[in-house]
Amino acid sequence: MENARIKAAVLWESVKAPVLADDSGLCVDSLNGGPGLYSARYGGGISQENKNRLLLEEVHSVLVRTPDSGGKNPRSCRFVCAMVLMLAPCRFFAVQETLEGALVETLEDARGGQGFGYDPVFIPQGYKNTLAELDPEEKNRISHRGRAAYALDKIIPLLYDNLV
């Protein structure tokens, strides 16, 4: 949330007008919430395919060392999106949404061409397809970013009604 607020503040300073900023990341339970805030920089300057490989290898390594998952899905994770609408430096509205899911087991299980980033290795809860296999309309409907934008969309008319 703090990164989204910082981004919004920098944008607001640049344009001196209302701005929208977000920060998103993939949080994997077996990696103690990582890569999270560092999702884009995870693995350094390697390709996204190698980031996906590294992520799955690290999860596998944790699962080998601690095979008892206590009945939980050992590959459980979520995409998190914090979104900030900044009207002025001291007046902003923030929302945070998630998309719960699980990672595929191996890079060979990655599939789909509709998404980017970690989408080919992420299976949303209640689905059999990866996020990268979903059509854009469905992905936007369930995604962390789509849900955050929808939540802010509910706030904006209330702001307008109070300003006029």
Residue range 102-116: average pLDDT?
93
| Cis ω before 136 (30° cut-off from 0) | no
Instruction: Identify the pLDDT of residue 106.
Output: 95
Instruction: Identify the pLDDT of residue 63.
Output: 87
Instruction: Identify the pLDDT of residue 164.
Output: 46
Respond yes or no: is residue 109 known to be catalytic: no
pLDDT 10s digits, 23-71: 999 999 999 999 999 999 999 999 999 999 999 999 999 988 887 766 6
- Whether the pLDDT of residue 163 is over 60: the answer is no
Given 23, 119, 135, 161, which residue is catalytic?
23
Please report the beta strands in the chain, taking only residues with DSSP state E, as ranges in sequence order: 19-28, 34-35, 76-88, 91-103, 122-124
End-to-end CA distance of the chain: 29
Residue range 3-14: average pLDDT?
97
CATH number at residue 10: 3.90.950.10
pTM of the model: 0.91
Residue range 74-100: average pLDDT?
95
- The secondary element (H helix, E strand) that includes residue 51 is helix 48-65
How many domains does the structure of the chain reveal?
Answer: 1
Residue range 76-98: average pLDDT?
95
Print the domain residue range for 55.
2-163
Instruction: Identify the pLDDT of residue 81.
Output: 98
| Biggest CA pair distance of the chain | 60
Give 160's pLDDT tier (boundaries 50, 70, 90): low
* 111 C-beta neighbours (distance < 10 Å), count: 14
- Of all residues in the chain, what percent carry a pLDDT higher than 90? 82
Query: Phi and psi of 112, rounded to 5°?
Result: 105, 150
